[in-house]
Amino acid sequence: MNIHRRKFLKQSLGLGAGALTLPALFQVGCSTTGVNARRAQMGLQVYSVRNQLKADFAGTLKQVADIGYKNIEAYGLGKDGSYLRKIKASEYKKICNDLGMNLVATHCGYVEASDAQGYIDGALASGVEYLIVPYLGGEMRKSIDDYKRVAENFNAVGQQARAAGLKFGYHNHAFEFESMEGQTPMQVLIDETDPAYVRFELDLFWITKGGLDPVVFIDKNTGRFSCFHVKDATTDLKAATVGSGTIDFATIFARNRKYLSYYFVEDERTDTPLQNVRAAHDYLKAAKFV
Q: Residue 106 pairs with which residues in a beta bridge? A: 74, 131
- pLDDT of 100 > 60? The answer is yes
Per-residue pLDDT tens for 194-223?
999 999 999 999 999 999 999 999 999 999
Per-residue pLDDT tens for 162-178?
999 999 999 999 999 99
Alpha helices (runs of H) in the chain, residue ranges in sequence order:
3-13, 22-30, 50-55, 57-67, 89-98, 117-126, 144-163, 185-191, 204-209, 214-220, 249-256, 273-286
Mean pLDDT (the chain) is 90
- Class (C level, CATH) for 35-286: alpha beta
75 near 99, Cβ under 8 Å?
no
Cα separation, 141 vs 154, in Å, equals 14
134 near 75, Cβ under 8 Å?
yes
Cα separation, 53 vs 263, in Å, equals 21
- pLDDT of 35 > 50? The answer is no
- pLDDT of 9 > 60? The answer is no
Per-residue pLDDT tens for 180-189?
999 999 999 9
- pLDDT of 16 > 60? The answer is no
Nearest to 261 by CA among 21, 101, 34, 70: 34
Pairing mode of beta strands 199-203, 225-230: parallel
Mean pLDDT of the 118-124 span: 97
- pLDDT of 87 > 70? The answer is yes
Per-residue pLDDT tens for 244-283?
999 999 999 999 999 999 999 999 999 999 999 999 999 9
What is the pTM for the complete model shown? Answer: 0.87
- pLDDT of 1 > 90? The answer is no
